[in-house]
Structure 1
Amino acid sequence: MAEYAGPGGITTHWYGLDAVTDQSNAVVAAGASAGVQVLVFGDSAADQLAPWRVPTRAVISATSGIALGKLGFAQTTDARATLTFTVPADQTIWATAASCSQRTDTPTVDPVIAAWDVRRTGGPDADEAVQRIRDFVLARGGS
């Protein structure tokens, strides 16, 4: 986790009024209906894998852009964003997500990348949230 540079690519920041998990779900649904592969990162992924803290920002990666303005989002700065959207340069995130047999309703990145993003996002309970993800992975036997 200390060496991963992140997914890179093109990132935009958006503001929405709905709960963060609802924002993630809306983008996942829009991607599915448009035939765009979408993965949920960070707190939203952690909330699916090993719930511990309330997500404050949705972080989504997709294989191509999605018209987020049509979903009710307004483009904003990183500091004000409730949703970060990336078309990543790191194409390995799709393979690692597929290789993890996740038991979630939402397509999430693999648990290690989710933990990396939770740690990157920070907060007073980030280390404990990362520990919860670690415990989740170990309880599953790493699969």
Structure 2
Amino acid sequence: MTTGDGDENLRAGGGSTSRATGTRMSSVRRLEAFDATTSQWPEHHERVLLYFAANDVPEDKRKAVFLTSCGAATYSLPRNLLSPNKPGDATLVVIYAALGAKPKVSEVVATVKFLLRTRLEGEGVSDYVAAPNILVDH
């Protein structure tokens, strides 16, 4: 017996169904590994949370989903920072905090970088003028 609300889809193979349209909604297939060369942790963290929401990942499964899909480099960072404990033993909040932690930058090193900044080949004037502000933030 079909109710018209997509219950047959749920029984047949899983997935969420929109009650308003009766159509099966697709989920995001995989969570991309964090790559520090292309994005920063806060941005990736936002995407992780959106992935969990889009796929209706329950709270008790989020840590396992994240740790199995974060990539080797990302996994090793909290593993090293939380040692002797393993990331699987920590809460997801603690793991996120370890990944988002920034070591304090030496004031001397930051000053030298700021003072030695030169215009790069092909760099526009506006980018060159804006660069010291970026250096100050980091």
Q: What is the TM-score of this pair, normalised by structure 1?
A: 0.26
Higher strand share: 1
Higher helix share: 2
Q: What is the TM-score of this pair, normalised by structure 2?
A: 0.27
